[in-house]
Amino acid sequence: MSAPPARTQILSLYRHLLRELPVRSAATPSRTAHQKLSSPSQLQKRLRSILSSQHANEKGQLQQAEQFVRYVQAQRMYATLIERYNPGMGMSEEERVRLTARRVGMDLPVEHKR
């Protein structure tokens, strides 16, 4: 039987998970970093309780958590790449056509409204 994972490994995994969590909306942008850290989200509380429990010391649980960290990192990278290489995804068709025309050196004619 293998030795239980070190506490430092569990803490490191917890920090990796926290880094990958989505940033909470800026409902109150004037909050300081300390205020944000002192009021964790429900997901942060849940992660903390899971990783501080006795079951977190099981090797299978840690491997599953490490896989989850890698998955979330890959999802974040995927979203970043989609945003970078498909900048017109969130645009309307009209705006996309206008920008495509400008890319090849043309301006669309002004449409007269009736």
Under 8 Å CB-to-CB from 66, ≥6 apart: which residues? 13
20 compared with 74, residue with greater pLDDT: 74
Confidence of residue 78 (pLDDT cuts 50, 70, 90): very high
Query: What is the C-alpha to C-alpha distance for residues 27 and 29, in angstroms, rounded to an integer?
Result: 6
Q: Given this model, what pLDDT does residue 33 score?
A: 60
Give me the amino acid identity at 75. Q
Confidence of residue 77 (pLDDT cuts 50, 70, 90): very high
60 compared with 27, residue with greater pLDDT: 60
Residue 96 has pLDDT above 90, yes or no: no
Query: Average pLDDT of 46-66?
Result: 76
Q: Given this model, what pLDDT does residue 81 score?
A: 93
Count other Cβ atoms within 10 Å, centred on residue 13: 19
Confidence of residue 1 (pLDDT cuts 50, 70, 90): very low
Query: Average pLDDT of 52-64?
Result: 74
Q: Tokens 């995927």 sit at which residue?
A: 78
Per-residue pLDDT tens for 97-110?
Answer: 888 889 899 988 88
Closest among 76, 57, 54, 79 to 6, alpha carbons compared: 57
Please state the domain extents for the chain: 7-21+32-103
